[in-house]
A and B are shown apart, each in its own frame.
Chain A
Amino acid sequence: MRGDLVLRVISKLFIPFMLLFALYVLFHGELGPGGGFQAGVIAAAAIMFYAIIFGLPAARRLAPDAVVEAMVAAGVLIFAGVGVAGLVLGGNYLDYFVLDRNPVRGQERGIFWVEVGVAVTVSGVMLKVFYMFAGRGRDPEDA
């Protein structure tokens, strides 16, 4: 599909907004619908869209395998790290009240970082699974 001019132009127009929308869903998830999971899926979908139009190798240059695999683990670590931060600051595990002097601010901060962790892991896993599936049988060299 690399040759189709319409698809190329439309996807170039759309992908920045898809990524922006993913960030919006992530950061705005506390106020409106959405949150980490949805944001991660939308970000992964934007990269998949790119891969479908411009080919898998181009997407792999954009989001290399090493980065995606690191994201898979980093998200869980961020989530668990928020819990450990609560322990270090003298609360219970995953207790956000201690993250700030004002307990409500601490809650907001904790929820935000937890959502970031979820988003990172989810988009990493979705992209990785897509890479593994789409790479199979096509070019065994970099599957």
Chain B
Amino acid sequence: MAVVVVAMVVRRNLFSVVVLAGIYSFLMASVLVALDAVDVAMTEASVGAGISTVLLLSALYLTKGEEAKPMRGPWIPLVVSIAVGGALVYGSLGLPAFSDPQAPIHTHVVPRYLQQSLKETGVPNVVTAVLASYRGYDTLGETTVVFTAGAGVIVLLRLRKRRAENKAAK
């Protein structure tokens, strides 16, 4: 994955960058399968590697295939990204150890979800039970976000088309 990221940064041809991003998503999906998060892996493979690749390619069709030369030197972005990465690593030092059963996240509601969700909801897949039932409001909010994003794209792109039509009429 690190090799793919470095290649993405170095390449100037956007087509190969898009393809590399798809490869990165598939690698990420395999990592998620290895972590037993099959639902997330499925989403990553279909959205990250599938649909976003298609959307980026169709956007690429409308623009040029080569990345423009950067206007400024790479130093400010480099410093910013190293600072953010360092802050994230520093923050992750405070997290409980990986797969520690005593971590707060595993002692609050997780035991109830894991043990009672089949009895309470009749749904064997705990992820589905939590998403749709225990956290129904959150999922409703997510669906609304997806809806809003779609509506926003429709409004923005249609507005430009109308403007072009008006110009042509004048």
**From A33, A44, A72, contact of B42 by CB (8 A):** A33
| CB-contact partner of A32 in B62, B125, B139, under 8 A | B125
Would you call the interface of chain B mostly helix, strand, loop, or mixed?
A: helix
**CB–CB B59/A133 < 8 A:** yes
Q: Is the interface of A mostly helix, strand, loop or mixed?
A: helix
Residues of B within 8 A of A35 (CB): 39, 125, 127-128, 131-132
| Shortest distance between the CB of B64 and any CB in chain A (Å) | 13
Q: Is the CB of A23 closer than 8 A to any CB of chain B?
A: no
In the assembled complex, which residues on chain A have CB atoms less than 8 Å from the CB atom of B136? Answer: 83, 94, 96, 114
B144 neighbours in A (Cβ, 8 Å): 76
Interface residues of A in 84-143 (CB under 8 A from B): 94, 96, 104-105, 107-108, 110-111, 114-115, 117-118, 121-122, 124-126, 128-130, 132-134, 136-137, 140, 143
CB-CB under 8 A for A30 and B123, given A110-B133, A132-B154: yes
Contact B128–A115 (Cβ < 8 Å): yes
Residues of A whose CB lies within 8 Å of any CB of B are: 25, 29-38, 41-42, 44-45, 48, 52, 69, 72-73, 75-76, 79-80, 83, 94, 96, 104-105, 107-108, 110-111, 114-115, 117-118, 121-122, 124-126, 128-130, 132-134, 136-137, 140, 143
* Segment 135-170 of B: residues with Cβ below 8 Å from A: 136-137, 139-140, 142-144, 146-147, 149-151, 153-154, 157-158, 161, 164
**B81 at the A interface (CB under 8 A):** no
Q: Are A30 and B128 touching (Cβ within 8 A)?
A: yes
Sample (20) of A-B pairs whose CB atoms are under 8 Å apart? A32-B125, A33-B39, A34-B42, A35-B131, A69-B154, A72-B147, A72-B151, A72-B154, A104-B120, A107-B123, A108-B121, A114-B136, A114-B140, A121-B147, A129-B150, A130-B51, A130-B54, A136-B62, A137-B61, A137-B62
Contacts of A30 in B (CB 8 A): 123-125, 128-129
> How far does the Cβ of B75 sit from chain A's closest Cβ, in whole Å?
34
Q: Give Cα A128–Cα B128 distance, bound, in whole angstroms.
A: 26
- Chain B residues 107 to 130 lying within 8 A of chain A, measured CB to CB, are 119-125, 127-129
A125 touches B123 (CB 8 A): no
- A80 and B141 CA atoms in complex are apart in Å by 10
Min CB–CB distance A24 → chain B (angstroms) = 12
Q: Least Cβ distance of B65 to chain A in Å?
A: 14
Q: Which residues of the other chain, A, contact B142 by a CB distance below 8 angstroms?
A: 118
Q: Complex Cα distance A79/B38, Å?
A: 24
CA distance A136 to B63 in the complex (A): 11
Q: List, in ascending order, chain A residues with CB within 8 A of B58's CB.
A: 130, 133-134
